[in-house]
Amino acid sequence: MSNIVAIVGRPNVGKSTLFNRLLERREAIVDSTAGVTRDRHYGKSDWNGVDFTVIDTGGYDVGTDDIFEEEIRKQVQLAVDEATSIIFMMNVEEGLTDTDQEIYRLLRRSNKLIYIVINKVDSSKEELPATEFYQLGIDKYYTLSSATGSGTGDLLDDIVKDF
């Protein structure tokens, strides 16, 4: 069975930017099936010779944080059902929000491997503000700039190691 990595998080944190970066030079597989896969994009990627499928979630990406709790729950549940590993993305620009805390609460109920990623850490000056995410009660997070690609290597090293 192939390894499936889902990217989960509220709108505008940078999920699709990371998804597109992971799919660079690879052909995206856009699932046109109606129904539960409607809001999701699938693609193939690889790291250090290990192949995996990436899911970009977020049919609720409407550019605001005004999401129905039910819609978040649905997206998170779909990701948890389908994926072997979950990238939970937040961002340092907007900081830790109530929606982030709600999503993390839902994710923790699953037995899937969860990688907590703080995106938009474009330079070292954003490392210190990122420490506010320890408020989630976590031991470790990955800081990333999906825009430049910095940090993605460390994250992928760990993800493929855990497959």
Report the binding-site residues for GTP.
Answer: 9-16, 56-60, 119-122
Residues 116 and 88: beta-carbon distance below 8 Å: yes
Instruction: Fill in the per-residue mask, 54 to 73: x = in contact with Mg ion (CB under 5 A), - = not in contact.
Output: ----x--x------------
Residue 89 forms beta bridges with which residues?
Answer: 117
Among 11-19, 28-36, 95-103, 107-115, the segment contacting ligand GDP (CB under 6 A) = 11-19
Of 107 and 163, nearer to ligand GDP (C-beta) is 107
Instruction: Fill in the per-residue mask, 69 to 108: x = in contact with ligand GDP (CB under 6 A), - = not in contact.
Output: ----------------------------------------
Tokens of residue 73, six digits: 């729950």
Residue 115 beta carbon to ligand GDP: minimum distance, rounded to whole angstroms: 15
Residue with tokens 């992928």: 156
E runs forming strands in the chain: 4-8, 28-29, 41-47, 50-56, 85-91, 113-119, 142-143
Distance (Å, whole) CA 107 – CA 78: 11
Residue 150 beta carbon to ligand GDP: minimum distance, rounded to whole angstroms: 8
Per partner kind, with CB cut-offs from 5 to 8 A, the member of Mg ion, ligand GDP, none near residue 21 is none
User: Can residue 120 be called a binding residue for ligand GDP (CB under 6 A)?
Assistant: yes
Tokens of residue 11, six digits: 């709108």
What Cα–Cα distance (Å) separates residue 139 from each residue in 3, 12, 80, 109, 133?
A: 25, 25, 21, 17, 10
Which residues of the shown chain bind ligand GDP in the complex (CB under 6 A)? 9, 11-17, 58, 61, 119-120, 122, 145-147
Which residues of the shown chain bind Mg ion in the complex (CB under 5 A)? 15-16, 58, 61
